[in-house]
Amino acid sequence: MKYLEFDTPGTAQAGDLKSRFDLSNHGLIHLDRVFWNLPAAALVEEATFRKEGHLAHGGPLVVNTGKWSARAAQDKYIVREDSTENRIWWGEYNRPFDPDKYSSLIARVQAFLQDEELFVQDCFVGADPEYRMPIRVITEHAWHSPFARHLFIKPASLDDYQSHVPEFTVMALPSFRCDPRIDGTRSDTAIIINFAQRLALVCNSMYGGEIKKSIFTVMNFLLPLREVLSMHCSANVGAGGDVALFFGLSGTGKTTLSADPRRRLIGDDEHGWSSTGVFNFEGGCYAKVIRLSSEHEPQIWATTRRFGTILENVVQDPTSRRLDLDDDRFTENTRAAYPLDFIPNTVPEGVVYSHPKNVILLTCDAQGVMPPIARLDPDRAVYHFISGYTSKIAGTEIGLGIEPEIAFSACFGAPFMVHHPFEYARMLKENMIRHGAQCWLVNTGWVGGGWGVGRRISIRHTRNLLNAALEGKLNDVAYRRDRLFGFEVPLSCPEVPEDVLDPSNSWGNKDDYWRRYDALVARYIDNFKLFESGCPKEVADAGPKRLKEAAGVPRS
């Protein structure tokens, strides 16, 4: 478009909110035009003018991310240099990248961007002023700019924009393809974080989540060094100041369950727990919207009919422009990005100076054997937090099929955790004990059999169980001790049928149930071997026992 030499809708205002710390500081010179910190309305105009997306009924911008409709989890790297060498837990999710290869790659990127148009958003990550970090997001596509503007925290004034100096920068470059022969990458797609240069590259992926999760990974490295627990969780707060944390992977219900009209939402995905309280990393939400229901998730559903929301890979009728949230032809991982204030009843400042009273570990058990809720003591909380059992739901990562896969994701966010998982778990346990928080394991998965046989547990039952836990209504009920895991399962709960609390009741064949449950325990035990050497003995001892070892324990 630039070769035609005509103005686009935002040309006249492109530099009005320009920072004095310009792009030459990132080695980006001889650029064609830079659009600095444009507001969402101007960026939507730019995106539609450039045919990056279409407006749908009600006003949201619908974009298609093409091949990359989920995270490229196998293509993420961290540059191995002095500041990271002995601090990163190198392995499957934290792949080392050669610093010389990185230097060569960034030089090619800088040359590639000459004469190009770019969009910049100067923002902050971290709502607590004590831990807030200025960041910059540089993008090729117009729609990535409001995405960043929604997800992070905006400066408050013109002076804030002009004086903004980022401490970390993300460059999202979908049209730049890596060359594995030259760059040492696995493919032509790469997400590379360099802590020494305070720079992250997202190459050859249009999926907006890569921008968001790159910054989350950065916070997961930096904050624990300051003894602040960084968490992949949503959070809300009750009228009495009682904070609740909801840990879980995509598809387990973090966003849905924390958007409770009776409680104020702090944030839907990423938080820090400091010595003074809980704070949101972000200024917006990035919610899954596949098969979203106006009945069960009215607040999130309403954002999909609102101007300013960005919808990724959602199907719409080209004539009526009406959405079909049930259509998964592009991906199961359809997403909505919107500012936090699109949800009513939020904490606008994003920080609550009080401590959690309840910690919820959400698991999506596709085996159909886990109870819908269980109470965990601190050591079992650490064991389950490190294990991070769930099922990967189709669409959240490239390469997943239709059927959910058993998964163990440490800290319920392994791809983004850069220290050994016990470092995060240690801080969680210490904070829980110090502030008297109770931990609950909540299953939002299947009942009556595994995937394809049983059915997904009723969201109404899950909400009633959670409300009872948060309101203290489960404090005085009778509990049974689970035969294999040893955690406590309530025998009753207000507004929940008693037979729901024992998953074996919904299985036609109890022997099949116990075989499946025992097989899941075996997977837990095998998985924990990856972490055992870095954990104290009491954590390993808090793990489950195989059926043959639990022979003396009465069946539930």
Q: Which of 145, 217, 250, 258 is catalytic?
A: 250
Active-site hit among 145, 255, 256, 303: 255
Beta bridge partners of 358: 244, 438
Q: In this structure, what token pair is assigned to residue 102? A: 């990185």
| Pairwise CA distance, residues 196 & 212, whole Å | 20
Can you tell me the distance from the alpha carbon of 142 to that of 116, in angstroms, rounded to the nearest whole number? Answer: 13
232 catalytic? Reply is yes
| Torsion of Cα atoms, 72 then 73 then 79 then 84, to 10° | 150
The two beta strands, 61-63 and 310-312, are parallel
**Whether residue 254 lies in the annotated active site:** yes
Which residue among the candidates 76, 144, 149, 335 is catalytic per the annotation?
335
Catalytic residue among 75, 128, 269, 518: 269
Q: Which residues contact 38 (CB under 8 A, 6 or more apart)?
A: 10, 13, 14, 17, 46, 119, 145
Verify whether residue 26 is a known catalytic residue. no
Is 71 an active-site residue? yes
Closest CA relative to residue 171, chosen from 140, 206, 210, 201: 201
Is residue 435 left, alpha or beta, with left meaning phi > 0 and alpha meaning psi from -120 to 50? Answer: alpha
Q: Mapped to the 3 state alphabet, what secondary structure does 418-447 carry? A: CCCHHHHHHHHHHHHHHHCCEEEEEECCEE
Say how far residue 336 (Cα) sits from the centre of its chain: 13
SS3 at position 477: coil
213 included as an active-site residue: yes
Residue 549 DSSP label? T
Nearest to 387 by CA among 405, 422, 411: 411
Of 71, 288, 384, 429, catalytic: 71
The SS3 of residue 82 is coil
Contact 77, 193 (CB under 8 A): yes
254, 355, 429, 483: which is the annotated catalytic residue? 254
CA torsion angle 64 65 68 70 (round to 10): -80
The catalytic position among 18, 141, 232, 288 is: 232
In the set 213, 288, 380, 483, the catalytic residue is: 213
Instruction: Please tell me the distance from the alpha carbon of residue 133 to that of residue 153, in angstroms, as a whole number.
Output: 10
Contacts by 291-300 with C-beta closer than 8 Å and gap 24+? 291/325, 291/326, 292/325, 296/256, 296/459, 296/460, 297/256, 297/259, 299/259, 299/261, 299/343, 299/344, 300/255, 300/256, 300/259, 300/336, 300/343
User: Does residue 335 carry a catalytic annotation?
Assistant: yes
Query: Annotated catalytic sites, by residue?
Result: 71, 213, 232, 250, 254-255, 269, 335
